[in-house]
Amino acid sequence: MKSTNPVDPLAQGAACATDGPISACGLPSKVVIDMSKASVRHTDAEWQKLLTPEQYRVARLQGTEPPFQNAYWDNHEDGVFFSVCSDTPLFDSRDKFESGTGWPSFTKAIEPLFVAVERDSSYGMIRDEVHCTTDGAHLGHAFDDGPPPTGMRYCINSASLRFMPRKQYEAWVAARAVPVAVK
C-alpha cells in the first residue's frame, strides 16, 4: 500500500499556510499501519471504488486536506463523526472545539479502542498519527496542546469522517442494541 520512496509533501496535496511554515497537521503521515487486527479490509481497488478520490487520498494514502477548506472544520451541529471507511463512531461533536487550525479538533475519541496512535517522525517532526483501528483509515494527528479536561487535540481530516446528526445516531445505536436476557 505505502510507497517507501521519499515523498514531496506538497506534491501529496499537503496543506500549508500561504504565508508561513507548514503546520504540523498539514503534512501527510508516513506511519506504517498494522492492518493485521483490522476487521474491515478491502483491496486498494475496492477502496478506490468505495471512496471519493479525496477520501481515498487522505484515509488510505495518509494524505492531508487543506485547512479551512474542508467539510467539518466549522461544523457546529450536534452529532457523531464516523470513519468514512466503516461504521465506526469515532468522535462526538460534544468533544469538538475551535482549535484555530482549520481542521476539526476533538479532545477525545468516543471509545479509545476505536482509535490508535502511532509515532510519526517523518519530515523532521515528531507527531502522533491517529488511525481507526477497525478499518485502518488515517484520521490525522494528536497533540497534547488541547483544552481541559484531557489536554489533547485530535486534529482530524474531514475527508476521513462522515457526520451523523444526534437523533439519527441515537436511532443507529438503538438498532444495534443487544437485548438483555431476562431471568
Whole-angstrom CA distances from 164 to 72, 81, 90, 111, 169 are 12, 6, 11, 16, 6
CA angle 166, 91, 99 (to 5 degrees): 110
Q: Distance of CA 13 to CAs 8, 106, 135, 136, Å?
A: 9, 23, 23, 20
The beta-strand segments (E) located in 32-180 are 79-83, 89-92, 96-97, 105-106, 115-120, 127-132, 138-143, 153-156, 161-165
Positions annotated as catalytic residues are: 155
Q: What DSSP state is assigned to residue 57? A: I
Q: Which three cell numbers stand for residue 165?
A: 446528526
Do residues 60 and 137 touch, judged by C-beta distance below 8 A? yes
Query: In a 3-state reduction of DSSP, which class is residue 33?
Result: coil
What is the phi/psi pair of residue 111, to 5°? Answer: -135, 115
Residue 12, all three cell numbers: 501529496
